[in-house]
Chain A
Amino acid sequence: MAGISWNYVFKFIITGDAAVGKSSLLVRLTDQRFLANPDPTLGVEFGSKLLTIPEENKVIKLQCWDTAGTESFRSITRSYYRGAAGCLLVYDVTSRKSFVNARSWLADVREHADPHLTCILVGNKVDLCDSESSSDRRQVPMEEAELFAKEEGLLFVESSAKSGENVEKAFEDAARDILSKIRRGVFDDDRVSSPGVKLSKPSNVALDPGAGSKPSCCNS
Chain B
Amino acid sequence: MEFLSQTYVALRGPTGAPQTAAEIVGKLIDRLSPATLLADRRAAVLALKGLSRDHKQDVGERALPGLLQVLYNDAEVDPDIGKATLETLTMLCDVEEERDLGFKNTDAILENEQALHALMALLADNNFYTRFATLQFLSILLQNRRQRVQSYFLTAPSGSRSIIAVLEDKREIIRNEAIAVVKSLITQSADIQKVLAFEGAFEKLFNMVTQEGGVDGGAVTEEALICLDSFLRFNSSNQTYFRETGLPSSLLSLLLFPPNMSMQELGPQEFALQFWDDQKLANASAVVGIIGLLVGSKGAQEQPAYIRCLIEMALASNAPTVLKTKALTSLPSNLNFPMSDFILTPYMPVPETNGEEWDRLEAATALDALVELALHGEYNGMDAHKRLSGGLMMRAAAVSVFENFVRKEERKQAFIQRLVPHVGSELLPNPLIQSLVMIPNSDTPLDPVMVASTHFASLLFSHLLRNSPRCKSLARSIKPQPATGSDTGNFFVPADTTAPQAPIPAETLAEDDEPPQTLCQIMTENLSLSLLARSRANNSDREAREWDRLIVAYLCLLSQWLWEEPGAVRDFLDAGGLGILVEPVNYASEGDLVVPGLCLFLLGICYEFNREPGEITRNTTYPILNRLGVDTLIGRMSRLREDERFKAVSPEISVLPFNTTPVSHLQKPEEQEGEIWFDWAFVDFWKSTYYTVQRGLSTEPDQLASASSGQTTELTMLVSSLREVIRTQSGEIESLNAQLKQTLSSNDQLATLQKDIAKLTIELQESEEKRKETDREHEDLLVLVDELSGKHAQDKARMREAGLDVSEDEGEDGDDDE
Q: Which residues of A contact B (CB under 8 A)?
A: 1-3, 11, 42-48, 61, 63, 65, 75-76, 79-80, 82-83, 204, 206-210, 214-219
List 7 other contacts, CB 8 Å, given A1-B294, A46-B244: A11-B198, A46-B240, A75-B154, A76-B191, A209-B259, A210-B249, A219-B203
B246 touches A217 (CB 8 A): yes
Provide the residues of chain A in CB contact with B253, threshold 8 Å. 207-209
B301 touches A63 (CB 8 A): no
Does B730 count as interface, using CB distance less than 8 angstroms? Answer: no
Does B753 count as interface, using CB distance less than 8 angstroms? Answer: no
**Which residues in window 241-297 of B have CB below 8 A to A?**
241, 243-250, 253, 258-260, 294
A43 touches B191 (CB 8 A): yes
B210 touches A207 (CB 8 A): yes
A48 touches B198 (CB 8 A): no
Q: Which one of B155-163, B389-397, B703-711, B766-774 is at the interface?
A: B155-163
In the complex formed, the residue of B with least CB distance to A48 is B244
Cβ contacts B206-242/A at 8 Å (1 or 0 each): 1100100000000000000000000000000110110
Given contacts A76-B154, A83-B199, contact A47 B240 (CB under 8 A): yes
Given contacts A1-B303, A82-B161, A210-B260, contact A46 B237 (CB under 8 A): yes
Provide the residues of chain A in CB contact with B195, threshold 8 Å. 44, 76, 79-80
Min CB gap A87→B, angstroms: 14
B246 touches A219 (CB 8 A): no
In the complex formed, the residue of A with least CB distance to B158 is A82
A83 touches B198 (CB 8 A): yes
Does B376 count as interface, using CB distance less than 8 angstroms? Answer: no
A47 to B241, CA, bound (A): 7
Query: A214's contact among B159, B160, B207, B249, by CB below 8 Å, is which?
Result: B249
Question: Nearest 7 pairs between A and B by C-beta?
Answer: A75-B155, A43-B191, A46-B241, A1-B243, A46-B237, A79-B195, A207-B250
Provide the residues of chain A in CB contact with B249, threshold 8 Å. 1, 208, 210, 214
B243 touches A217 (CB 8 A): no
Does B485 count as interface, using CB distance less than 8 angstroms? Answer: no
Min CB gap A12→B, angstroms: 11
In the complex formed, the residue of B with least CB distance to A207 is B250
Does B109 count as interface, using CB distance less than 8 angstroms? Answer: no
A43 to B206, CA, bound (A): 25
Min CB gap A175→B, angstroms: 16
In the complex formed, the residue of B with least CB distance to A111 is B157
Provide the residues of chain A in CB contact with B244, threshold 8 Å. 2, 46, 48, 61, 63
Provide the residues of chain A in CB contact with B206, threshold 8 Å. 207
In the complex formed, the residue of A with least CB distance to B159 is A79
A42 to B258, CA, bound (A): 38
Given contacts A1-B303, A207-B210, A207-B253, contact A79 B246 (CB under 8 A): no
A44 touches B258 (CB 8 A): no
Interface size class of chain B, counting residues whose CB lies under 8 Å from the partner chain: 35 or more
Provide the residues of chain B in CB contact with A75, threshold 8 Å. 154-155
Does B194 count as interface, using CB distance less than 8 angstroms? Answer: yes
Provide the residues of chain B in CB contact with A209, threshold 8 Å. 253, 258-259
A214 touches B246 (CB 8 A): yes
Does B384 count as interface, using CB distance less than 8 angstroms? Answer: no
Query: A215's contact among B155, B198, B240, B246, by CB below 8 Å, is which?
Result: B246
Provide the residues of chain B in CB contact with A43, threshold 8 Å. 190-191, 194
Q: Which residues of B contact A (CB under 8 A)?
A: 154-155, 159-161, 190-191, 194-195, 198-200, 203, 206-207, 210, 237-238, 240-241, 243-250, 253, 258-260, 294, 301, 303
In the complex formed, the residue of A with least CB distance to B235 is A46
A48 touches B240 (CB 8 A): yes
B247 touches A217 (CB 8 A): yes
Query: A1's contact among B191, B207, B238, B301, by CB below 8 Å, is which?
Result: B301
Given contacts A1-B303, A82-B161, contact A219 B237 (CB under 8 A): no
Given contacts A207-B206, A207-B250, A209-B258, contact A80 B243 (CB under 8 A): no
B260 touches A219 (CB 8 A): no
B240 touches A219 (CB 8 A): no
Provide the residues of chain A in CB contact with B191, threshold 8 Å. 43-44, 76
Query: B246's contact among A44, A65, A216, by CB below 8 Å, is which?
Result: A216
In the complex formed, the residue of A with least CB distance to B154 is A76
A204 to B243, CA, bound (A): 18
A63 to B244, CA, bound (A): 8
In the complex formed, the residue of B with least CB distance to A41 is B237
A79 touches B154 (CB 8 A): yes
A218 touches B207 (CB 8 A): yes
- Interface-centre pick from B246, B247, B249, B258 (highest chain A CB count, 10 A): B246
Provide the residues of chain A in CB contact with B159, threshold 8 Å. 79
Provide the residues of chain B in CB contact with A215, threshold 8 Å. 246
A206 touches B210 (CB 8 A): yes
Provide the residues of chain A in CB contact with B161, threshold 8 Å. 82
Min CB gap A177→B, angstroms: 22
Min CB gap B120→A, angstroms: 11
B260 touches A46 (CB 8 A): no
In the complex formed, the residue of B with least CB distance to A66 is B237
A219 to B247, CA, bound (A): 13
Provide the residues of chain B in CB contact with A63, threshold 8 Å. 241, 244
Provide the residues of chain B in CB contact with A218, threshold 8 Å. 203, 207
Provide the residues of chain A in CB contact with B246, threshold 8 Å. 2, 208, 214-217
A43 to B189, CA, bound (A): 11
B259 touches A210 (CB 8 A): yes
A61 to B243, CA, bound (A): 13
A214 to B161, CA, bound (A): 27
- Interface-centre pick from A3, A46, A80, A219 (highest chain B CB count, 10 A): A46
- Interface-centre pick from A1, A206, A215, A218 (highest chain B CB count, 10 A): A1
Provide the residues of chain B in CB contact with A11, threshold 8 Å. 198
In the complex formed, the residue of A with least CB distance to B202 is A217
In the complex formed, the residue of A with least CB distance to B199 is A83
A209 to B247, CA, bound (A): 11
B199 touches A45 (CB 8 A): no
Provide the residues of chain B in CB contact with A207, threshold 8 Å. 206-207, 210, 247, 250, 253
Min CB gap B595→A, angstroms: 51
In the complex formed, the residue of B with least CB distance to A112 is B157
Min CB gap A3→B, angstroms: 8
A43 to B190, CA, bound (A): 8
Given contacts A46-B237, A206-B210, A207-B206, contact A80 B190 (CB under 8 A): no
A217 to B204, CA, bound (A): 11
Min CB gap A209→B, angstroms: 6
Provide the residues of chain B in CB contact with A47, threshold 8 Å. 240
Provide the residues of chain A in CB contact with B190, threshold 8 Å. 42-43
- Name 26 A/B residue pairs within 8 A (Cβ), A-sorted: A1-B243, A1-B294, A2-B243, A3-B260, A42-B190, A43-B190, A43-B191, A43-B194, A44-B195, A45-B237, A46-B241, A46-B244, A47-B240, A48-B241, A65-B198, A75-B154, A76-B195, A79-B195, A79-B198, A80-B195, A83-B198, A208-B249, A208-B253, A209-B259, A210-B259, A214-B246
Given contacts A83-B198, A207-B210, A219-B200, contact A44 B245 (CB under 8 A): no
Min CB gap B238→A, angstroms: 7
A79 to B198, CA, bound (A): 9
A80 touches B250 (CB 8 A): no
Min CB gap B193→A, angstroms: 9
Min CB gap B293→A, angstroms: 13
Provide the residues of chain A in CB contact with B198, threshold 8 Å. 11, 44, 65, 79-80, 83
A208 to B246, CA, bound (A): 8
Provide the residues of chain B in CB contact with A219, threshold 8 Å. 200, 203
In the complex formed, the residue of B with least CB distance to A200 is B246
- Interface-centre pick from B191, B194, B198 (highest chain A CB count, 10 A): B198
In the complex formed, the residue of B with least CB distance to A216 is B246
In the complex formed, the residue of A with least CB distance to B301 is A1
Provide the residues of chain A in CB contact with B258, threshold 8 Å. 209
Provide the residues of chain B in CB contact with A83, threshold 8 Å. 198-199
